[in-house]
A and B are shown apart, each in its own frame.
Chain A
Amino acid sequence: AQSVSQHNHHVILSEAASLELGCNYSYGGTVNLFWYVQYPGQHLQLLLKYFSGDPLVKGIKGFEAEFIKSKFSFNLRKPSVQWSDTAEYFCAVPYNKFYFGSGTKLNVKP
């Protein structure tokens, strides 16, 4: 089985602040890694994904994530957040089915 941990449950930032959301997974083999985002009132959308190759993955809206195999981590980053980034962010690992973290609610103050 697989487990996914997101340690930050609720993050509050001011606009232009930098963001890093933690994600750790348990499976030690080859993994694909995903970040999904759910904006208020909308459905889950794919933010970015890692399959192989360059461990630094760039996604939509200026987000990026770094896969560090030795740390079993796939942290999400954005250098400068905007009010429109207010949403809930989910880390997910497919292992026959998706295993999700518990989600991180990001609240960006204008």
Chain B
Amino acid sequence: EAGVTQFPSHSVIEKGQTVTLRCDPISGHDNLYWYRRVMGKEIKFLLHFVKESKQDESGMPNNRFLAERTGGTYSTLKVQPAELEDSGVYFCASSRTGSDTQYFGPGTRLTVL
């Protein structure tokens, strides 16, 4: 069984540009989560999809962040326009319905210059 995959592994962009991160969950996992870790701080929740629906987006920092999960499979997280404070590692995780155990992807390290 393939794990959670994320693309790209690293992204370096300039302030004001747009970046789109992608997450492919484990097949059959309806729950998909996005988290972010800003340097040296804790991993913080951004949002949660159940299939294609946003179950909880309370952690999204502002309206420059847009997440989608069309068809309930992979998800994208777009940052537009990117700001310096958006730099960090963006993690994706997935889980089965009814399970608390989340499986994490390797993360995307985003650097905004």
Contact = CB atoms under 8 A, between A and B. Distances in A.
A94 B33 CA distance: 12
B33 A90 contact: no
A102 B41 contact: yes
A36 B104 CA distance: 10
Interface stretch (A16-24, A41-49, A64-72, A75-83): A41-49
B6 to A, nearest CB: 9
A98 B102 contact: yes
Nearest to B6: A43
Chain B interface extent, by class: 20 to 34
Interface stretch (B12-20, B43-51, B65-73, B75-83): B43-51
B59 interface: yes
Given A43-B107, A44-B91, A97 B42 contact: no
A45 B107 CA distance: 12
Contacts of A94: 100, 102
A1 to B, nearest CB: 10
A96 B50 CA distance: 12
Contacts of B106: 42-43
Contact of B45 (A44, A45, A99): A99
A74 interface: no
11 contacts: A43-B107, A45-B104, A49-B100, A90-B43, A94-B100, A96-B48, A98-B33, A99-B45, A100-B35, A102-B41, A103-B43
Interface of B: 3-4, 33, 35, 40-45, 48, 56, 59, 91, 93, 100-107
Interface of A: 4, 32, 34, 36, 42-46, 49, 51, 90, 94, 96-103
